[in-house]
Amino acid sequence: MQKTIILSQSQKQILVDHAKKCAPAESCALLFGKEESGTFTTHQVYLTKNIENSPVNFVISNEELLLGYQEAEKNGLEVIGIFHSHPHSEAIPSSTDKKFMTINPVVWIIYSNIHDKLNAFVLESEITSVSIRLL
Ligand SMILES: [Zn+2]
């Protein structure tokens, strides 16, 4: 069964605004929430800094990741997703993304600035698309 991630319109807008503000570099964020039977509900968007400041890659510092995980735990939530943007390409995982998806097996949400499109993926035995439901 296909997995689903639920985002509110305002959460989506926060991510899209962040992506536009960080362009031409990639932007990134963590999503906190809960998972039940393959449905991930986003409760909090945690914007992060791309320390690489690169148009084709993103790196979240270990310090910020640690703070993010602590914040999620404090609020009784899990890190359910990683968001990043592709300023110049489609909203599909790059080969680098695929490598990091094996290390971080959460939902990966990618926003394409050029197509104004948001897609979500999860790595199961292969990269599988996750449907995004906007509330
Ligand atoms: Zn990417």
pLDDT tens digits along 47-76: 999 999 999 999 999 999 999 999 999 999
Name 74's Cβ contacts closer than 8 Å, sequence gap at least 6.
none
Higher pLDDT, 124 or 9: 9
**Residue-number span of the structural domain to which 15 is assigned:** 4-134
Cite the beta strand spans of 8-125 per DSSP E.
28-36, 39-48, 78-86, 107-112, 117-123
CB of 51 closer than 8 Å to CB of 28: no
Measured in Å, residue 38 CA sits from the centre of ligand 1 at 23
| CA pair distance 20, 133, nearest whole angstrom | 22
What's the predicted TM-score (pTM) here? 0.96
Is the predicted pLDDT of residue 43 greater than 90, yes or no? yes
Q: Which one of 26, 63, 64, 78 is the catalytic residue?
A: 26
Determine the pLDDT at residue 14. 98
The CATH number given to whatever domain includes residue 18 is 3.40.140.10
Does the annotation count 124 as an active-site position? no
Q: How far is the CA of 55 from the centre of ligand 1 (A)?
A: 10
Q: Structurally, how many domains does the chain consist of?
A: 1
**d(CA 20, ligand 1 centre) in Å:** 15
Q: How many angstroms separate the alpha carbon of residue 115 from the centre of ligand 1? A: 14
For residue 1, what pLDDT is reported? Answer: 83
Average pLDDT on 2-13 reads 97
pLDDT digits (tens, 9 = 90+) for 64-115: 999 999 999 999 999 999 999 999 999 999 999 999 999 989 999 999 999 9
